[in-house]
Chains A and B, each alone.
Chain A
Amino acid sequence: MADTDTGIQPKRTGLTRTQKRRLSRGAQYAVLAAAVIAFALTADWGRLQNQFAQPGIAKQLFPDLITVALKNTVLYTLSGFVVGLALGMVIALMRLSSVGPYRWLAGIYIEIFRGLPALLIFIFVGVGVPLAFPTVQYPGGTYGKVAVALGLVSAAYMAETIRAGIQAVPKGQMEAARSLGFSPARAMVSIILPQAFRIILPPLTNELVLLFKDSSLVLFLGVTLEQRELSKFGNDLASQTANSTPILVAGLCYLLITIPLSLVVRRMETKALREIR
């Protein structure tokens, strides 16, 4: 304690600050190099390539990889996002309502659905609801079912994001709108929400990235060949060919979408930071 805050003896350890920094950086690079060398020496490269990167098998995946699997992943994700956004918006507005029961209901929904694993929600929507209400049909069949499941998964998060965005708009904006004669609802739609969405565009896009990955849970819903998305498709073909290449390729397809999205988010965030300054 005592010697950390003196600063009277700058060369206690005998090293200058520059020397210490160099030493620390050198040690980190040495650890990294050792790890890479150890991995390269111990890995069985021939076997890895045989298991994960067989061009022949990769070729077999086309065109279904794109026309069925990737297409379905995108469809499932976007429809789930739309349902989640709409539901999340309703819940966020309920959460901010002056009517107590609305606030409580919204709060309960958020706590429950943020606390449950997405897989459980998928099973509930896919198996539980049809068992409990045999006459209920999801509009759009499997697509509707997936949209509802992903919507339920994401709505709770989106509701909290949207609420935070609305509350980040300065109070004076609502007051200015009201003093011009806007009704509360009209002020919300014309003045507050457009500003809130600008603020929450990055976190909403992050939610979209998460949904892309969660759409893989369709695996557990029992889908036809035509309804398979990337994960199920990769999994099926991996067992058919007794090779892991399809899984690697499916993984690359996810990254093809999620990495650019993440970059867009980062761009938006730095731009927003610059605007604040």
Chain B
Amino acid sequence: MTTPEIRVQGLHKSFGDNHVLRGIDLEIAQGEVVCVIGPSGSGKSTLLRCVNLLEEPTEGQVFVGGTEVTDPDVDIDAVRRRIGMVFQQFNLFPHLSVTENLTLPQRRVLRRDKAAAERVAAENLARVGLAEKAGAYPSALSGGQQQRVAIARALAMGPEVMLFDEPTSALDPELVGDVLAVMRSLAREGMTMMVVTHEMSFAREVADRVVFMDGGVIVEQGRPEQVIGAPRHERTRHFLSRILDPAMAEVEEGVADQGGTG
């Protein structure tokens, strides 16, 4: 077996007294698509952000492509170039045009010359179906378009791994599809992807593996049809019932509240 693209070992993360990640072990193979699901506050974002060291783990190790990210002597900027990240809030650079959003990082970080950077930018804008928006500014784009530009910006750096943190959660429902379509084709091209999402149909269709997190640990993981279709753990079943039928969740919460106060 080849070395995994991402390896997380004994990962703990605390914010002060808040022990958010309580021992995570996870391996993601090259070209594998892993969807991470779980209730709010379970530590999904924190796990993702520990992989490219936006958060410093309190304990444990993270390897990406064989390099130990958590090694204090590692050139973290160099490692991050190999890891693309897509945020819930897009985080496009608002003072730059769409093309400049893609070319500036290539030129400043990868030291590509202007012509090469522009060629790569055009390729990747075409890849996400936004070639005609090259000259626009982010504020003139819809949320779905902004998120696709953000994906193109990450891809333009030629990453080996892509991390997605709820990429469609800030979007109007009718714009979700376009972003998921881009991610689907990326998965088909063999990109290694770690996706935090609440889109169960996407997870079911695209993921090779689904990881369910709760309370800072991985509760269960496996093929999507198994984790989503026939969950083994009560906590997973509970979470899925709330996600798949939000109306039910409200009733449950109401009952719980009454129990708590009365």
Q: Which of A's residues lie within 8 Å of B, judged by CB? A: 170, 172-173, 175-183, 186, 190-191, 194-195, 198, 275
Please tell me if the beta carbons of A172 and B87 are within 8 angstroms of each other in the complex: yes
In the complex, chain A residues whose CB is within 8 Å of the CB of B110: 181
Docked-complex contact B91 and A181, CB < 8 angstroms? no
Cβ-defined contact, B52 with A179, below 8 A: yes
Q: A172-B87, A175-B87 are in contact. Are A180 and B95 (CB under 8 A)?
A: no
List of B residues within 8 angstroms of A195 by Cβ: 93-95
In the bound complex, CA of A212 to CA of B94 (Å): 33
| Chain B residues positioned under 8 Å from A179 (CB to CB) | 52, 54, 80, 83-85, 154
| Contact between B105 and A182, CB atoms less than 8 A apart | yes
Q: A190-B108, A195-B95 are in contact. Are A181 and B80 (CB under 8 A)?
A: yes
Q: Does B30 contact A (CB under 8 A)?
A: no
With a cutoff of 8 Å between Cβ atoms, the chain A residues found around residue B54 in the complex are 175, 178-179
With the chains together, A180 CA to B54 CA distance in Å? 11
CB distance from A200 to the nearest CB of B (A): 14
Q: Residues of B contacting A176 with CB < 8 Å?
A: 85, 87, 91-93, 150
In the assembled complex, the Cα of A191 lies from the Cα of B157 at a distance in Å of 17
Please give me the residue from chain A that is nearest to B153 by CB atom: A180
User: Which chain B positions have C-beta within 8 A of A175?
Assistant: 54, 87, 91
- Among B78, B109, B150, residue most surrounded by chain A Cβ atoms (within 10 Å): B109
B104 contact set on A, CB distance < 8 A: 190
Say whether A194 contacts B153, CB under 8 Å. no
- Total interface residues on B, CB under 8 Å, equals 26
* CB-defined A-B contacts under 8 Å, sample of 11: A170-B91, A172-B89, A176-B87, A176-B150, A179-B154, A180-B157, A181-B78, A181-B105, A181-B109, A186-B108, A198-B95
Q: How far is the CB of A178 from chain B (nearest CB, A)?
A: 7
CB-CB under 8 A from B153, the residues of chain A are 180
Known: A173-B93, A179-B80. 6 other contacts (CB 8 A): A170-B89, A175-B91, A176-B91, A176-B93, A177-B93, A182-B77
Write the chain A residue with the least CB distance to B79.
Answer: A181
Interchain CA distance A181-B105 in the complex, whole Å: 8
- Distance in Å: Cβ of A26 to nearest Cβ of chain B: 47
Chain A residue numbers with a CB within 8 Å of B108 are 182, 186, 190
CB distance from B58 to the nearest CB of A (A): 18
Q: Does B81 contact A (CB under 8 A)?
A: yes
Q: Which residues of A are found within 8 Å of B154, using beta-carbon distances?
A: 179-180
B206 CB, min distance to chain A CBs, angstroms: 22
Q: Which residues of A contact B89 (CB under 8 A)?
A: 170, 172
Contact indicator B105/A194 (Cβ below 8 Å): no
Closest to B80 in A: A181
Inter-subunit contact B80/A180 (CB<8 Å)? yes
Q: Which chain A residues lie closer than 8 Å to B52 at the CB level?
A: 179
Query: Could you say which residues of chain B place their CB within 8 Å of the CB of A182?
Result: 77, 105, 108-109
Q: Please indicate the chain A residues that have their CB under 8 angstroms from the CB of B105 in the complex.
A: 177, 180-182
Chain B residues in 8 Å Cβ range of A178:
54, 80
Top-3 shortest CB links A-B: A176-B91, A181-B81, A179-B85
Report how far A275 CA is from B87 CA in the complex, Å.
Answer: 23
Which residues on the A side are within 8 Å of B92 (C-beta)? 176
In the complex, what distance in Å separates the CA atom of A183 from the CA atom of B109? 8
Query: What does the 1/0 interface line of B67-104 toward A look like (CB < 8 Å)?
Result: 00000000001101101110101011111000000001
